[in-house]
Structure 1
Amino acid sequence: MLKVYLLALHSALTDFLASNNISAAQIQEDHQRRVREAETQEINEGNSNSQDDRESEENASESPEQKKKRKRKETATLAKIKQSKEFARRKSRRVGEPDDDDEFIARELMYEKSRPLPGQLEHCEVCGKRFTVTPYSKTGPNGGLLCAKCSKEVANDDKKAKAKKRGPRTGRRQNQSNLLDGLAQQGALSLAEMCTKKVADNINDIEEFGDLPSQLLHRLSQILSKRRALTPRTLNLFLRPDLESIDIYDAAKLEADDFQKIFTFMPTLRHVNLRFAGQMKDGVLEYMLDRDLKIKHLHLDSANLVSDSHWQRLFQKLGPQLESLKLSNLDSSFDDETVGTMSRYCTGLRRLKLKYCWKMGNGSLQAISDLTSLEHLSLSFVQDMDAEKLLELISGVGSNLRTLSLQGFPNADDRLLDAIHTSCQNLTKLRFSGNVVCTDKGFSSMFTGWSNCPLEYVDLSSTRDVDNSNPDGPTEATGLASEGLVALMNHSGFRIQRLDISSCRHVSRAAFEEIFADGKIYPQLKELDVSFHTIMDDYLVGCIFRCCPELKKMIAFACFNVRDAQVPNGVALIGGLKAQNTIIVESTV
């Protein structure tokens, strides 16, 4: 039965091959021919290799005359190749690359002419595998040919080695950084700004700044401080004996010796501004006092390693010549006794700024009230102060003040606002933030009928009721609310340049509509912060843009109804739900 089945299968296969004009004998003959060709190729390849070996041996054993003849022939061939069009095309493609040498290109072309033709078999230079040469076979690093797999790997390595060059562009992250800085500039930066940033980018390759003007040095210090790139080495670039001021906004990487170096190389200093000076110690102050400097403006931040005794010595030595003093972030020194020493010796102070000095208390307020020559006062306390001491301070120094900044006095009441209304007649800047006691009526009374000139800078942020269980606030509004804001704008609206009313959450929508009504103009308002006013929406934002033609920066964090506001050209809108999508849009208002 099996035999019958096999015969039938053979008959069917024979009929199929015959119907398709396929001959089994021809198939067998073709197979045997391919086997003979492969054997012949191996024999020829062996002969070729042995011939190459013989040629190498001949080259090694050739006479000096034969070497000269071979070199003359090779030189003539290379010279002929250098006159060809293919050589010119290849050289033009490699201009500026490491392998653009004429001799290298000519020898490469000479080798390509002698390499195996397409269709012939060759061994891969890298892996040794035998493959068929094609017109697209690549040359290896040593001049041999590569198989398809190795060619692909070499191409991938070349792509990694030669990263794609991108032109200069500003990404979303840089746009957002500029936006937070209040920059909404279109087009290229100024030439001075571009050059300054280029210098900052290559700061490690610069040996000196030369005679750069002080304003450019100040800008470079700002950029390098922002990048945390101010080190002992880069500090040396700013030390010039002819300068009278130095501004270092990030001295965190400087040591005590670096601070001493500043006072050594800059003996004519009048203005010293050192921020984050964590390594400034008593020895630095002793060295500074021994140099007999003529410093008039001193600003130190985070100098926590300086003791109270050395602060007092500083005031005793330099106090009579100081005109401005700014100290901040001192948590282990600078107590009431030190402040008392300051008030006794620094009788000529016109500007005083003390922020986050943890040890200052009521005694400090009493001591500061004796500085009747003050024109600019900025205080930010950590401890709770007695309201009566604060009233005495305002009554004592308020008449000469041009700027007043009070932060960290949450328990001050309406009596403070009345004291400012009565004593302060020359203010151009007022900051009173973080208070939870003063009422809206108190703010309204202060601004109504106030004989003080119109304010240019106002910060009344975070003056509000903090009872989260009652978001609408008490019946009598706490902090700056509708009446107080309307009174403020009626008093100072046409002169005000910067206004911060963030977190004054009891201002009504009707008050905003009244302040920014059609026909009202605030010609000098450039910066406005209305963050955490939940009633702010696209309509009110449009009214603000219409009434403030000089507005450059508007902050609206947590204003969730600001969605699709049309922002005028050149205005930085920070916050809002879609602030990350568009930064500058032409206004349609």
Structure 2
Amino acid sequence: MCMISVDVVLSINMSPRENRRQTRNQIRGPHSALTDFLAANNISAAQIRDDHQRRLRDAERQTTGEVLPSQSEDGSRESPGDSSEQSKKRRRNEATTLAKIKQSKEFARRKARRTDPKNDDDLIAREMMCERSRPVPGQLDNCEICSKRFTVTPYSKTGYNGGLLCTRCSKSMKDDAKMAQAKKQGARISRRQNQSNLLDGVAQQGALSLVEMCIKKVADNINDIEEFGDLPSQLLRRLSQILSKRRALDPRTLNLFLRPELDTIDIYDSAKLETHDFQKIFTSMPALVNVNLRFAGQIKDSVFEYMLGRELKIKRLQLDATNLVSDSYWRRLFKILGPQLEILKLSNLDFSLNDETVKVMCGCCTTLRRLKLNQCWKIGDDSLQALSSLNSLEHLSLDLTRETKNESILEVVSSIGPRLRTLSLEGFPNADDELLQVIHHSCDSLRKLRLSNNSVCTDKGFRRLFTGWSNPSLEFVDFSSMRDLDNSDLDSPEGVIGLASEGFVSLMEHSGTTIRKLNISSCRHISRDAFEHVFSGGKIYPNLRELDISFHTVMDDYLIGKILQCCPAIKKLVAFACFNVRDVRIPAGVALIGGLKAQGTIVFEGTS
């Protein structure tokens, strides 16, 4: 008699509809990739679950204080109830695991990183085996540093000895690592500070000098400084420059510069000083000879009256933006201090110092050697005629706002030109080639010549100026913005307007060997051929240290390279709006300002 299973009987007795329903209920979806992978590698999900539960039970036993397997002297773990056979089997398994670890790439990398030759291979392998047997996320463990009990997470950090760390100790270790890395890298100059240094013409290579570092450290802690002590005048001047740039000169920091034995005061930013602060300067420093106060907007008539009442021996006076001083007190100043003044520099005066005051100045200041009048709005033709009587002048700098006649400036240059060593003229739009001719015939001792912001003088006039000129070679030349306002008008009957190719070549032939600072920015009519001729192979300009070639569209990487070859002493090269200067390589110690890309150190003919 054959045996028939219950399932077969039930299936036979079922109706077709019920059979289809049962079959439909047994349908399962497709296996996932993970399920196929586990089945292919004989990995049981039930075994994974059992192992996880076993680890949780072990963690609970650790919490309740139950005895766990102890570790033998060779590093293998043994349970108190294990037999000798079980111990041997455990040791064999451990030895097999250590052998596999020693053959891994991670073991080789760790061994290569170890610098101690005494490190044993077994020690490294056991460290890696211990790391693999760490508590899994969700279990409890003791922090390696503070021994605090915490729950292990996937983000738990490893301590210095291989143990896990709690959240607080992990953060502390991370902060210590950041501080150590910052200390290792050292101080870095920010991009803003680097660009600021470049604009100042500083291309710093290596560390600052000890003096400069000390000065900047003092400036950084200026609020904690009580006095400067016996610092020399040059260091005080440098401190004043740094504090003025940082807008940190106020009544409190001013007291640090007031010393009775000094004869010089240089304050480059007096915007935060009040009227009584300026009076304090003249009270605390009775031996003043050199006074330099910039942005001194709070100097009033009362300050001048107090200063004149002190009978000071001031010989060099420079004031800026003192617009609250009336013309009557300017005249009193010139009448009392004028006979002893040797240097006078006044700038940014839009309220006072008219033509009558300038006439009084010229009549009283008979020993002036240097005069600078910059952006003085009320000065006109009458003032220029008065300046022609200053027979002792050696340095003259004028930057006027009012439009003047060409004859006025011609009279000044022809009268005092033979004694001038410095001539700087800005803001004379009506000056033409006749001025260049007067300079050619009258000036024979100039070391510095500045003519800028003019659209009347021609290139032929500049060529005649430097051709056969008896004046020695110039050291400082500024012909910026000497160009035609119409960029396309190059074929006018009168010739090219401004400094162009012929004038530039004549200038370099006359003064190229001694010139130290040259500014030809915006002289856009200088051709590429002229630049190639001036900076051609074999020509050397040994003293040229600063060159401004901004807004010259013909300038490119090749010409910059030729300039660097011909000027071995150059330190500052300004090239704003020279859009073809892209991939030039700049030598170490040269500040390129305005270039699109400045790469590393360039090597010329085997030298760096």
Task: Please give the range of the TM-score, normalised by the shorter of the 2 chains.
Answer: 0.7 to 0.9
Matches of 2:246 and 2:542, distance apart in 1: 36
For 1:585 and 1:564, how far apart are their aligned partners in 2? 11
The alpha-carbon distance between structure 1 residues 237 and 586, as it changes in their structure 2 partners (threshold 3 A), is: farther
After the TM superposition, which residues 128-527 of structure 1 pair with which residues of structure 2 at under 5 Å, given as runs?
133-136=140-143, 152=167, 164=179, 165-166=182-183, 167-468=186-487, 470=488, 472=490, 474=492, 476-527=495-546
Contact 2:427 2:452 (8 Å CA) reproduced: yes
Q: CA deviation at 1:162?
A: 10
Give the TM-score taking structure 2 as reference length. 0.72
SS of equivalent residue, structure 2 residue 425: strand
Q: SS at 2:328's partner residue?
A: helix
Structure 1 residue 8: Cα displacement: 9.6
Please say if residues 540 and 567 of structure 2, whose CA atoms lie closer than 8 Å, have aligned partners that are also in contact.
yes
> Over the residues paired in the alignment, what is the CA RMSD in angstroms?
3.4
Kindly indicate whether the alpha-carbon contact (under 8 Å) linking 1:138 and 1:145 is maintained by their aligned counterparts in 2: no
Distance verdict in 2 for CA 1:553–1:588, change over 3 Å: farther
- Alpha-carbon deviation of 1:449? 0.9
8 Å contact from structure 1 (residues 572, 584) kept in 2:
no
> Structure 1, residues 261-286: CA drift from partner, whole Å, max 9, x if none?
11111110100111111111111111
Q: What is the rounded CA distance, in whole Å, between the counterparts of 2:571 and 2:139 in structure 1?
A: 70
| Residues 178-187 or 363-372, more deviating | 178-187
Q: Distance in 1 between matches of 2:388 and 2:303?
A: 30
Is 2:563 the partner of 1:544? yes
Listed as ranges, the gaps of 5+ residues in structure 1 are 14-21, 39-43, 45-117, 120-130
What does residue range 565-580 of structure 1 map to in structure 2 within 5 Å?
565-579=584-598
Do the aligned partners of 1:137 and 1:147 also contact (CA within 8 Å) in 2? no
Matched letter for residue 142 of structure 2 = P
Cα 1:3–1:168 change in 2 (3 A) is: same
Give, in whole Å, the separation in 2 of the partners of 1:313 and 1:147.
Answer: 86
| CA–CA distance in structure 2, aligned partners of residues 320 and 309 of structure 1 | 18
Tell me the SS of whatever aligns to 1:217: helix
| CA distance in 2: counterparts of 1:287 and 1:466, whole angstroms | 49
Supply the AA of the counterpart residue of 1:244: D
Q: TM-score scaled by structure 1?
A: 0.75
Contact in 2 for aligned 1:566/1:587 (Cα 8 Å): no
| 539, 547, 551: which one aligns with 1:528 | 547
**Superposed displacement of residue 334, structure 1:** 1.1
The number of equivalent residue pairs is: 482
> CA shift at 1:239, angstroms?
0.8
- The structural deviation recorded for 1:171 is 3.0
SS class of match (2:434): helix
Question: Does residue 559 of the first structure (1) align with residue 578 of the second (2)?
Answer: yes
Unaligned 5+ segments in structure 2 are 1-13, 29-43, 65-133, 157-165
Q: Contact 1:465/1:473 (CA < 8 Å) preserved in 2?
A: no
Cα deviation digits, residues 80-131 of structure 1 (max 9, x gap): xxxxxxxxxxxxxxxxxxxxxxxxxxxxxxxxxxxxxx99xxxxxxxxxxx9
Q: Deviation of residue 568 (structure 1)?
A: 2.4
Contact 1:562 1:577 in 2 (8 A): yes
Partner AA of 1:549 in structure 2: P
Post-superposition shift, 1:525? 1.1
Alpha carbons of structure 1 residues 536 and 146: separation in structure 2 relative to 1, 3 Å? same
What is the CA distance between 1:187 and its match in structure 2? 1.3
One-letter amino acid of the counterpart of residue 207, structure 1: E
Cα deviation 1:298-336 (Å, max 9, x = unaligned): 001111111111111111111111000000011111111
1:514 and 1:6, CA in 2 relative to 1: closer, same or farther beyond 3 A? Answer: closer
Distance 1:152 1:528, change over 3 A: same
The code of the aligned residue for 1:425 comes to D
CA deviation map 1:2-44 (0-9, x unaligned): 999999999999xxxxxxxx9xxxx9xxx9xx9xxx9xxxxx9
How far 1:472 sits from its partner (Å)? 4.6
Paired residues of 2:585 and 2:600 also in contact (CA < 8 A):
no
Q: Which amino acid aligns with 1:436?
A: S
Distance 1:478 1:148, change over 3 A: same
Distance 1:477 1:439, change over 3 A: same
C-alpha distance in 2, partners of 1:455/1:462? 19
* C-alpha contact 1:566 1:588 (8 A) present in aligned 2: no
DSSP 3-state at the match of 2:142: coil
Alpha-carbon distance in structure 2 between the residues aligned to 1:453 and 1:10: 112
Q: How many angstroms does 1:432 deviate by?
A: 0.5
Relative to structure 1, the CA distance from residue 323 to residue 138 in structure 2 (aligned partners, 3 Å threshold; closer, same or farther) is: same
Q: Is the 8 A contact 1:334 1:359 kept in 2?
A: yes
SS in 2 for 1:305: coil
Instruction: Classify the secondary structure of the residue corresponding to 1:363.
Output: helix
Residue type of the alignment partner of 2:597? K
AA paired with 1:540? Answer: L
| Deviation, structure 1 residue 426 | 0.7
Greater Cα offset, 402-411 or 162-171: 162-171
- When structure 1 is superposed on structure 2, of 239-248 and 516-525 the one drifting more is 516-525
Evaluate the alpha carbon distance shift between residue 484 and residue 207 of structure 1 in structure 2; reply closer, same or farther with a 3 A threshold. same
Q: Is the 8 A contact 1:320 1:348 kept in 2?
A: yes
1:7, 1:155 → 2: CA distance? 58
